[in-house]
Amino acid sequence: MESECMGELIKEESSTLIMSQTFTEFKNYLENMQRFGQVVTLLYWDMETGMPKNGFDRHSDALTYFSTEEFKLSTSEELKEYLRVLNQPEELEQLDPDWQFIVKKMYRDIERDSRIPVEFYSAFVAAQAEAGRAWQEAKAAADYHIFAPHLKKMIDMRREMVSYTDPGKEVYDAFLDQYEEGMDSATIDRLFEELKTELIPLVQKIIAVDQPDDSKFHRFFDVDAQKKVQKLLLEYIGFDFNKGAVGETEHPFTLNFSSQDVRVTNHYHEDDPICAMFSAIHEGGHAIFEQNVNPKLDGTVGGSCNYMGIHESQSRFYENVLGRNINFWIPIYDKVQELLPNFRDITIEEFAKEINHVRNSFIRTDADEITYCFHIIIRYEMEKAIFREGVSVEELPALWNKKMQEYLQITPKNDAEGILQDMHWSDGSFGYFPTYLLGSIYDGMYRDTIEEELGSIDKILKEGRIKDITKWLNEKIHVYGSTRLPKEVIASVCKKEVSAEPLVRYFKEKYVKIYNLK
């Protein structure tokens, strides 16, 4: 009996030793993968922010090589074996909850991603780079025909990608699930239809009344001064420059190497400083999320948040719920006027009216927070038309213009302010656009919860305590990274199922007051 017990003890210790050794080797493997990821991210950052035009071919070649090598590591038999061992119940239960999530998610992902042929993946990365360059040229020339063949290639390749990763699944729902796991078009259709029903008549009422004079906002504003305002705004909302940097690009974006290195970009217009201000706040919201993920999760699938609706909820919460509230600006408006001298004859009341000026406009990133909803619905319906209705690439500009007229009563005068304005389709990000509006829907729910737990948002902002809200978001959402699914985040933070009602109520309360609607 004693001999049998000793044997069992040795066996148990051996199993623990194997688990520990496997786990250590697994973590070392992830660190090596992360090194390749660092190179890929750095190449992308440089291609967007600093690379001269003639450097494209060499950069694209390097990006394709390192992306392919990273992909090989992420789908290798060696990694699959680590995950198979660690996914065994007796091994899994010895890991903490975060690592259990990481192992289970990676095991599921590798089963999916390893079905993608390496040669196809390499060709896809190269095609993305070419499409991105073609999009930039097409937008600059306002000529969709330059981009059209590249767009068709991305559509075809993304279809093929899904045939490997999600065989048997409807293509567009597969895209949606990749960007906001657990989300499908039936749910989005319900939420978006509710918004259309409520917001179309609200916007019509607003457009019908007298609009504020915006002439003061269309004159020369020094770009260097705008960059100083950006720094002020980023620091004010909680962006940590010890863990972050800024760059300049055609289309603003945020990327991260880890929670300790998160970068944002912006684009500046000499005759429109408000655009850069709100891009700074928007991208700052993304970056604050990434900077406050638990560093323990860096370099894993639990780290950088991969649920784009949740991510967009943070950027759009800062940009709209906070940034378009006059109380956000009360503590800092004198500093803005100091940095932008042309603002000295603009009162804070005039500024507040302008940043909440509702108007049908062509450019999504410049849209007010209500009509922005229609910009996303248009793109969502366009993507469904491509992948479910078989609308051809050649037909897309006309369909775009038709939908702009339907929802916004305006028609773009050229492709640059129409179908070419966004970069997302150039890298095959189909299914991404709906997450912007999902983010706004989540924001209505966060707003209610914050007011229940912290008190009046107006009062918090007016007193310059915006970082109290940032801290609340850090603790409730950011620290968890990707370790909770979107529906789990909403259930945990708001204690409710996803609903568009809070967002609609927020819009009605705010804009009925601003525009004195009956």
**Which residues does the annotation mark as catalytic?**
283
Q: How far apart are CA 265 and CA 287, in angstroms?
A: 11
248 and 49 in contact (C-beta within 8 Å)?
A: yes
Residue 198 tokens read as 């409520």
The shares of helix, strand and coil residues in the chain, as percent rounded to the nearest 5, are 70, 5, 25
Cα angle, residue 445 at apex, residues 442 and 451 outer, rounded to 5°: 140
Show the 3-state SS of 192-247: HHHHHHHHHHHHHHHHHCCCCCCHHHCCCCCHHHHHHHHHHHHHHHCCCCCCEEEE
- How many Cα atoms are found within 13 Å in the side-chain-facing hemisphere of 88? 13
Question: What is the separation, in whole angstroms, between the first and last Cα of the chain?
Answer: 87
254-258 β-sheet, strand order: 244-248, 261-266, 254-258
- Let me know: does 130 contact 60? Beta carbons within 8 Å: yes
d(CA 2, CA 465): 66
- Cα 313 to Cα 9, 301, 309, 321: the distances in Å are 51, 20, 6, 10
CA distance 170 to 184: 10
Task: Write out 86-145 in H/E/C secondary structure.
Answer: HCCHHHHCCCCHHHHHHHHHHHHHHHHHCCCCHHHHHHHHHHHHHHHHHHHHHHHHCCHH
Contact assessment for residue 36 and residue 29, using Cβ atoms and an 8 Å cutoff: no
**Taking Cα atoms as reference points, which of 428, 376, 433 lies closest to residue 407?**
376
DSSP output for 479-501: GGTTSS-HHHHHHHHHSS---SH
Query: Which among 256, 253, 255, 257 has a CA at the least distance from the CA of 267?
Result: 253
With a CB cutoff of 8 Å and minimum separation 6, the contacts of 158 are 171, 175, 428, 430
Cα Rg of the chain, angstroms? 24
- Assess contact for 254 and 302: CB atoms under 8 A: no
Q: Yes or no: say if 234 and 284 are a contact pair by the CB < 8 Å rule.
A: yes
DSSP H/E element including 413: none
Angle between helices 466-476 and 433-453 (to 10 degrees): 110
CB contact at 8 A, 203 and 370: yes
